[in-house]
Amino acid sequence: MKKSKIPSLSVGQNYYRATVTRPSGKRTTVSFGHIADRRKMEVLAALEQWWEIYQEDPETTLSHSSPYEAIEKYHNPHSGMTVEEILEHYERWLIKQGAVTKVGTEHPRITNFKRVKKYMASYQGWQAARFGPDQLLQIQQAINEDTYTVPKWVETENGREKMQIEKHYSRRTVNDVVNMIGKMWRWAAGREFVKYSATIALEEVKSIRYAQGNANEKVNRATVTWEELQLVMNSVTSVVADMMALQWHTGMRPGEVCKMRPVDIKQDDENCWLYIPGSDASPVGDHKTAWHKRVRVIPLAGAAQHIVARRMEGKNPKDYLFSPVDAVEEMKKRRYLERTTPMSCGNREGTNVKEHPMLKPGKCYDSHALNVAIKRGCKLAGVDRFTPYDLRRTAATNTRSKLGKTAAQVLLGHVDVGTTDIYLLEEVKEAMKVAKKLQE
């Protein structure tokens, strides 16, 4: 808006007032209070400040209840901010950072923020300046004592029944909620929504320690033995079995084994190939910590190399090595071979297939699908349930017991991109040595 002359101050019916023109062309009279409340010099100074703000954003300036409120919020934006407004601003910012993961599921920070909103609901009308460590401590205690229900199939006298089981939140979940509130207040302080001193006060609320309160302690499963792994591998398709075996030998993440393609595998060393997830996506690939500008290199030697070589046969460079389509075809063939109904009776192969099915197998697995497949395999094999990350942890444990902690870190870690030739990196050389020694 073009700078113009400050409007004149007049008095009408014992009130100071000034008349301004809106951007639409309409004239509006603004009251600056009763003449008995302030001296004229104070009002003139306020008018000058208000006029500067008005010229920057007329409609927002006029939306305040009085010109003095507009001046206060302009110079002290955090003074009237409510908890609800901070939650709204922070939620919009979180969504801009990314609301979903690479595989299309809801991002954990969004899930955690929903819990934050739930437990801060009773404070939404509060002025943000009033929210302090006492209120945060009450939220921490409320989550610690609260329960939620999860569906679970239970064996009963009448067969399997779906029941709702009550559970306490884990200690990690309680701490995640409290820590996010602290982060949100620091974020708000950086934007002058709250005073920085408020963030320091919230730091007085400490995280819950081990075995403190009612919070559940998430206990990791014991490492998976080779005998247990073989039992489960015999209960799933060969596609899932190979993915599990690769994790056992290499310790790669579930998402990394799901996205393997021939184009991502360097075969310069015949005894130890290198797998770089998403090598064509960016100079550092496409993996969990690519934003650190560090490349992820996974050595494939011995049994791991044999599995990959077998899966690469007949594949195009950008085809996924482990496809649900292959798993479904294998399952159909297995069912056909195990068929006990005579071919003259019942359905024959291909006669009961829908032309346009609603559900089709995808091009590749994701972490969730792999976890579900392993869960079903554990149940069929009668083995205590384990997850893909349990296999990664087992690989780390085995490597550490054989070759030491440093070797485990090298095998599972990341390396800096310091040269165009990946084989010249000292960390890669060491990782290849570790992979070869494990096969001895």
Q: What is the pLDDT of residues 262-305, one digit of tens each?
A: 999 988 888 888 898 888 887 777 877 776 677 788 888 888 99
Classify residue 388 by burial, with Cβ atoms within 10 Å: 0-12, 13-18, 19+: buried
Q: Which two tokens stand for residue 315?
A: 């594949």
Of 72-81, 126-135, 286-295, 325-334, minimum mean pLDDT range:
72-81
Query: Which CATH architecture group holds 226-339+361-438?
Result: Orthogonal Bundle (1.10)
* Alpha carbons 70 and 66: distance in angstroms, whole number: 7
pLDDT at 103: 61
Find the distance separating the first CA and the last CA of the chain, reported in whole Å: 77
| CB neighbour list of residue 2: distance below 8 Å, 6 or more residues apart | none
The predicted-structure confidence for 206-240, as pLDDT tens digits, reads as follows 988 877 766 677 766 678 899 999 999 999 999 99
Residue 404 is predicted with a pLDDT of 76
| Whether the Cβ atoms of residue 321 and residue 315 lie closer than 8 Å to each other | yes
In the predicted model, is pLDDT for residue 14 greater than 60?
yes
What ranges do the domains of the chain cover? Answer: 10-75, 83-202, 226-339+361-438
Whether the CB-CB separation of 364 and 258 falls below 8 Å is answered with: yes
Q: Which of 246, 285, 297 is nearest to 424 (CA)?
A: 297
Of 390, 369, 280, whose CA–CA distance to 327 is shortest?
369
- CB neighbour list of residue 247: distance below 8 Å, 6 or more residues apart: 254, 257, 388, 391, 392, 395
Could you count the other beta carbons within 10 Å of the beta carbon of residue 199? Answer: 18
CA 228 to mean position of chain CA atoms: 31
What's the CA gap between 261 and 277, in Å, rounded?
8
- Of 103 and 57, the structure prediction assigns the larger pLDDT to 57
* Of 381 and 430, more confident: 381
Q: Helices 83-97 and 108-119 meet at what angle, rounded to 10?
A: 170
Query: Using 50, 70 and 90 to split pLDDT, how confident is the model at 420?
Result: very low
